[in-house]
């Protein structure tokens, strides 16, 4: 949520920033609505004061033996007017609250201008595009040849955009999870956590998925409503919901393996082949909760932690800075890590690392106690995939394939594969 003080004091500056996203914010209409709120607040306060004064006067008049009926009628009239003013004020406040929840985060000044992913700025590459002496196959054909990837069975069980893995591929999937968690907890200073896979509407509102992205969520028929977590970011970031974190606890770093569930409502006909875009997938999520002045350095560090996974696995990748038209709703700045897939002959996203500044914290009521003032202030939150497990498996299959269809195991994963170095031998 954008700082309400900034919205009230300079809505035109907010509108100019949000326009870089392609988001239209009517500053004049907001000013008019906020002025209406202030007017109703003053009216309600004045009516309340008058009613209290007249109520006291009733008792005084009664002691003097005076006729109190006119005063009682006046108090009743003031009460009715106050009730109407408070009702109108509540309606305006509800409209303002809904408007606040619909506004995306303000963009950092370093976010590139642009309309879509074509305008994202490449920052660096690592590993280089591999040259193969044969025509590389994609992960679907490789998985079929290895006999451990079955989309038809998954379709019978659940439907499209699901997969079953078995044998070495199932073990490789598990190995990736264990390797990532060991790296992040052992070398990068993250605390491993286990969280619910079902979340409530309040948690999704806190991290910015609701109300805007409800169509992309799987809702469980239950009262109260539950949702399948679309990303580990939601339950893990909500560990600080409605908390005041003491300065000595900061920064907080959490790593978590979580399944993710997305309806992919806006992706009809997109990435229908293979494991790239599915309803169910798994990630190792990285979340940081930091002091505000440390969040930009934290973003660079978090991105480096995600990159370390790709480097240990010797997977070629690049880092891009998302432009204003492509960045996520809650993010102030985002770096995407894109891994090279020989079977598609293109880079594909495997991690997004974002600084949300105080946007999520205001919605979550997540604060830290500033030792200089002794007062609670909003924290800054960050998260990134470290990494998306399924896409990482895809990248290994396609980058480590051999001409005969066998797939080598990255050296870093050999201990997690029981010493096995080749799949399909």
Q: How far apart are CA 291 and CA 357, in angstroms?
A: 10
Q: Which two tokens stand for residue 321?
A: 């800075």
Residue spans of the domains in the chain: they are 4-102, 117-423
pLDDT > 80? residue 170: yes
pLDDT > 90? residue 68: no
Between 160-164, 251-255, 261-265, 330-334, the lowest mean confidence (pLDDT) is in: 261-265
Please report which confidence band the pLDDT of residue 69 belongs to, taking 50, 70 and 90 as the band edges. Answer: confident
Return mean pLDDT, the chain: 96
Please report which confidence band the pLDDT of residue 90 belongs to, taking 50, 70 and 90 as the band edges. Answer: very high
Q: What is the mean pLDDT of residues 87-96?
A: 96
pLDDT tens-digit map of 159-168 = 999 999 999 9
Residue ranges for the binding site?
231-233, 262-264, 285, 349-352, 385
Measure the N-to-C terminal CA separation of the chain; round to a whole number of Å: 54
CA distances from 262 to 13, 217, 386 (A): 34, 6, 18
Give 130-137 contacts, CB < 8 A, sequence gap 24+: 130/316, 130/340, 130/342, 130/399, 132/342, 132/401, 133/403, 134/403, 136/342, 136/343, 136/398, 136/401, 137/343, 137/398, 137/401, 137/405
Q: What pLDDT sits at residue 102?
A: 97
Q: How far apart are CA 379 and CA 365, in angstroms?
A: 9
Residue 362 near residue 239, CB atoms below 8 Å: no
Residue 24 near residue 37, CB atoms below 8 Å: no
Q: What pLDDT sits at residue 292?
A: 98
Note the pTM of the prediction, 2 decimals: 0.94
Q: Residue 418, exposed/middle/buried by CB under 10 A (0-12, 13-18, 19+)?
A: exposed
Please report which confidence band the pLDDT of residue 294 belongs to, taking 50, 70 and 90 as the band edges. Answer: very high
pLDDT tens-digit map of 303-314 = 999 999 999 999
Residue ranges for the binding site for L-serine?
231-233, 285, 385
Q: What pLDDT sits at residue 267?
A: 67
Q: What pLDDT sits at residue 43?
A: 97
Find, among 137, 140, 186, the residue nearest to 390 by Cα: 140
Given the candidates 3.30.110.40, 1.20.140.10, 3.30.930.10, 3.40.50.1100, the CATH classification of the domain at 117-423 is: 3.30.930.10
With a pLDDT cut of 90, the percent of the chain lying above it is 92
Residue ranges for the binding site for ATP?
262-264, 349-352
DSSP conformation letters of 340-392: EETTTTEEEEEEEEEE-TTHHHHHHT-EEE-TTT-SEEE-EEEEEEEEEHHHH
Is 117-423 in the same CATH topology as 4-102? Answer: no
Please list the active-site residues: 262, 277, 349, 352, 391
Please report which confidence band the pLDDT of residue 128 belongs to, taking 50, 70 and 90 as the band edges. Answer: confident
Q: What is the mean pLDDT of residues 54-83?
A: 88
pLDDT > 90? residue 266: no
pLDDT > 80? residue 325: yes
For residue 284, the cross-strand partners are 257
Please report which confidence band the pLDDT of residue 361 belongs to, taking 50, 70 and 90 as the band edges. Answer: very high
Q: What pLDDT sits at residue 324?
A: 98
Q: What is the mean pLDDT of residues 29-36?
A: 96
pLDDT > 70? residue 346: yes
Asked: is 4-102 a CATH 1.10.10.10 domain? The reply is no
What percent of the chain is helix, strand and coil (3-state, nearest 5)? 45, 20, 35
Residue 421 near residue 320, CB atoms below 8 Å: no
pLDDT > 70? residue 230: yes
């Amino acid at each position: 949520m954008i700082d309400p003080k900034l919205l009230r004091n300079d809505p035109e500056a907010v509108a100019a920033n949000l326009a870089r996203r392609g988001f239209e914010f009517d500053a004049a209409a907001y000013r008019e609505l906020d002025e209406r709120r202030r007017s109703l607040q003053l009216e309600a306060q004045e009516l309340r004061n008058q009613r209290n004064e007249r109520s006291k006067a009733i008792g005084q008049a009664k002691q003097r033996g005076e006729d109190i009926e006119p005063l009682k009628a006046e108090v009743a009239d003031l009460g009715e007017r106050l009730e109407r003013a408070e009702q109108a004020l509540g309606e305006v406040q509800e409209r303002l609250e809904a408007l606040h929840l619909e506004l995306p985060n303000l963009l950092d000044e370093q976010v590139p201008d642009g309309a879509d992913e074509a305008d994202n700025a490449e920052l660096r590459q690592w590993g280089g595009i591999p040259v193969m002496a044969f025509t590389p196959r994609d992960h679907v054909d490789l998985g079929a040849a290895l006999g451990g990837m079955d989309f038809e069975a998954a379709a019978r069980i659940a439907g499209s955009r699901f997969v079953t893995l078995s044998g070495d591929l199932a073990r490789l999937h598990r190995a990736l999870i264990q390797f990532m968690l060991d790296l992040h907890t052992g070398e990068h200073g993250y605390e491993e956590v286990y969280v619910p896979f079902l979340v409530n509407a309040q948690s999704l509102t806190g991290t910015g998925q609701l109300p805007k992205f409800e169509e992309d969520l799987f809702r469980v028929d239950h009262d109260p409503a539950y949702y399948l977590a679309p990303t580990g970011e939601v339950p893990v970031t909500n560990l600080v919901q409605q908390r005041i974190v003491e300065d000595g606890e900061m920064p907080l770093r959490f790593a978590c393996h979580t399944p993710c569930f997305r309806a992919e409502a806006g992706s009809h006909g997109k990435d229908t082949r293979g494991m790239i875009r599915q309803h169910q997938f798994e990630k190792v999520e990285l979340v940081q909760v930091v002091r505000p002045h440390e969040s930009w350095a934290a973003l660079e560090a978090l991105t480096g932690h995600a990159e370390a996974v790709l480097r240990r696995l010797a997977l070629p990748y690049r880092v891009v800075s998302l432009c204003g038209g492509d960045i996520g709703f809650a993010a102030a700045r985002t770096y995407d890590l894109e891994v090279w897939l020989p079977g598609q002959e293109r880079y594909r996203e495997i991690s997004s690392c974002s600084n949300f500044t105080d946007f999520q914290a205001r919605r979550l009521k997540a604060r830290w106690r500033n030792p200089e003032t002794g007062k609670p202030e909003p924290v800054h939150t960050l998260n990134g995939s470290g990494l998306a497990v399924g896409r990482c498996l895809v990248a290994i299959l396609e980058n480590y394939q051999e001409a005969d269809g066998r797939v080598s195991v990255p050296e870093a994963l050999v201990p997690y594969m029981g010493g096995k170095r080749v799949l399909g031998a």
